[in-house]
Chain A
Amino acid sequence: MRKLAVATALYLVLAIGAVATLLPFAWMLSASLMQAGEASKWPPRFLPSQATLANYRALFERLDLGRCFLNSAFVATVSTVGALLIVSLAGYAFAKLRFPGRSQVYRVLLTAMVIPAQVAMLPMFLLLRTFGLVNTYWGVIIPALAPVFGIFMVRQYALSLPDELIDAARVDGAGEFAIYRKLIFPMLRPILVTFGVFSFIGAWNDFMWPLIVLTDERRYTLPVALANLIGEHAEDIELMMAGSVLTVLPVLLLFLVLQRTYVEGITMGGLKE
């Protein structure tokens, strides 16, 4: 009897937590389907009286948010693919190749992670200005291409790869780059998928740096465009909710499909420390 009461209480708490977690998303979706003005009527209602896609149409036709969607997709994809190459090379080298200064450089990199990125932002903006990269996609992408946590993730994984395989390939006369490309890269696949999901979601959601670098509305990524829209359309709740759905949906779907790899990546970083 007591056991049953405990179990009921447990599920009740878990369920309340789940509802509280999902409620903002449910309201976002519901309000995005309402007629203009319906979300600020009294008495307030949770569900649309008559669902409509008019807000989504307005986003694409009137506000050109489809373009921002493509901007976001481009920036997130290119920075992820680039970072995958750079981080896999570096992570593998730090784990398996002996070269002068290896452990010292690696230790400095890890220590530097306590330096907040904001310290670099003002000088980096001036630097990108001299390169002519302000208000370009590359100004957002290039500084994100060598994330230290990515090098860390790949190195931790690469440490567990068998040395014998690499040595055998060397004895067979394979060059170091060929070994990386044909042998190591395929073996790193699981960790690269994890890192890729991290990187894509991070780049998609990033706000402060794109806000600083991108000055032309046509180049805005979705978060920047959305933050900018509230300024002019704060009263158009239904429209803003449609914009939020559009922004959140791709990363949420990606997470749902690849959640196992994503979650494993987090515990890896936490446990190995």
Chain B
Amino acid sequence: MSARTGRARREGRAGLAFVAPALGLIVVFFVVPVAAGFLLAATDFDIYAIGDLATARFVGLANFAALLRDPVFWKALLNTFYFVLVGGPLSVAVSLGAAMLLNVRVVRFKGLFRTVYFAPVVTTMVAVATVWRYLYHPRFGLLNQLLGAVGIGGVNWLGDPRWAMPAIILMSVWKNFGYNMIIFVAGLQSIPGTLYEAARVDGAGPWQQFRHITLPALRPMLVFVGIITMIGYFQLFTEPYVLTGGTGGPLNATLSLVMYMYKQGFRWWNIGFGAAVAFVLFLIILAGTLVQLRFQRERE
């Protein structure tokens, strides 16, 4: 008896010791900064406060009130929602389409196609965006040359406020769709082929099979993919940063929430204000996640 409790105590001590390095780092470099971020958002912490902490004052919700009056913040919010609500579903749809193509039984060289489609995912966003900056060049860019060949003329992708966000969405879909595609391929493979055969015997066409077999079977996966894609897309930063040279232009057409936080906090050192922007981002992501989880539960 005592030998066993002694062993259990040793196991408990070891367990705590093994998670201690990870938990210590997470507390110091995540929990404390997140808590401090919420506090910072309620102060006017700025460049003077970096030198002398005593100059920072508690301002309550003043930063949030200032945000609501700030047209640039609203623009950044709108841009971010544009990117998430158009780019997110588009990216998931392309992923699902590619996965279904790769899942057709007669297709050969599946591994090769999968590798090719996946390659952009592992590459460096900064380098890829550098390449696309030139692909989008209105005159020399490859994209406009190809469009010109089919008679579509001279879109000024990154120079026209109406086209800058679609350009970022197009590049992001190209870069990201391979990731969710892999998840969907695994999901499709787990659907038994007999289900489709039975449906065909009952006279179900391809659309009905998709609607009544494929989609329901993939539902848990769609929610998972939907949540991770949404969280990732709300954090839009590198794409507009590199494509627009750090400005979020033209006319703030590609300024995202995170970019606005970066500019306010790290370029102009309005740290309290920047923290308030980050807090808004957190609330939006939290709300979006809860909505998607609720949506799934209702369907069940």
Interface residues of A (CB under 8 A from B): 7, 10-11, 13-14, 17-18, 20-25, 27-28, 31, 39-42, 44, 46, 85-87, 89-90, 92-94, 97-100, 102, 105, 109, 112, 114-127, 129, 142-143, 145-146, 148, 151, 170, 176-177, 180, 201, 204-205, 207-208, 212, 222-224, 226-227, 230-231, 234, 237, 240-241, 243-245, 247-248, 251-252, 254-256, 259, 262-263, 266-267, 270-271, 273
Contacts and interface: CB of A to CB of B under 8 A. Distances in A.
A18 B130 contact: no
A18 B238 contact: no
B174 interface: yes
Interface of B: 7-8, 10-16, 18-19, 21-23, 25-26, 28-34, 36-37, 40, 50, 98, 101-102, 104, 106-107, 113-120, 122-128, 130-135, 137, 139-140, 142, 145, 174, 179, 182-183, 185-187, 220-221, 224-225, 231, 234-235, 237-238, 241-242, 245-246, 258, 261-262, 265-266, 271, 274-275, 278-279, 281-282, 285-286, 289
A105 B15 CA distance: 12
Contact of B278 (A20, A24, A121): A121
The main secondary structure of chain A at its interface with chain B is helix
Contacts, number: 283
A251 B26 CA distance: 27
A205 B123 CA distance: 7
The B interface is mostly helix, strand or loop, or mixed, namely helix
Nearest to B22: A90
A261 B108 CA distance: 22
Contacts of B10: 176
A145 B25 contact: yes
A44 B98 CA distance: 32
A227 B124 CA distance: 11
Nearest to A89: B18
Contacts of A255: 118-119, 122
A119 B278 contact: yes
A122 B22 contact: no
A100 B15 CA distance: 9
A37 B281 CA distance: 42
A177 B245 CA distance: 50
Nearest to A231: B245
Interface centre among B16, B187, B234 (most CB of A within 10 A): B16
Nearest to B117: A21
A205 B125 contact: yes
17 contacts: A14-B101, A14-B107, A24-B132, A97-B12, A98-B15, A100-B16, A114-B285, A120-B30, A126-B50, A146-B26, A205-B123, A227-B130, A241-B134, A244-B130, A251-B124, A259-B118, A271-B183
